[in-house]
Amino acid sequence: MAGRKSADDWPDFTFSAQLQFWALPMETIEAFAAVFPEFTRSPRRPSPTLDITPLRNDPSRWRLKVGGYRALYRIRHGRPLIEKILRRNDRTYRDFEEYARHFPAG
């Protein structure tokens, strides 16, 4: 895996999201790491290399798509805070919504 350049190049993580991240397959970790510098600089601005969108039912939270995985995040102190990482399936967004009900942003 390419070395981490600086803490400023990576988003912040909740403890549970950090555990989820490091449990991902290495190629998925590398795919996330490749988009983290751009993502951290512009967490609300999609681009051809950054697939992000606000959640429909919770506009204070966003979704980052990387391959078959989705990261749920919000902006805290101007930086993205990844709260949850899930493999995309038919329950992913329901799980995100349930998480948001239990842990309101703000």
Give ∠ CA 62-15-93 in degrees, rounded to 5: 35
The single-letter DSSP state of residue 50 is: B
What's the half-sphere exposure (Cβ side, CA atoms, 13 Å) at 57?
Answer: 10
pLDDT number for residue 106: 64
pLDDT number for residue 1: 47
Q: What is the CATH number of domain 7-102?
A: 3.30.2310.20
Are the beta carbons of 33 and 1 closer than 8 angstroms?
Answer: yes
pTM as predicted: 0.86
- 25 in helix, strand or coil? coil
Which residues touch 26 (CB under 8 Å, ≥6 apart)?
Answer: 1
Mean pLDDT by 10 residues, the chain (106 residues): 66 96 97 96 94 90 96 95 93 82 78
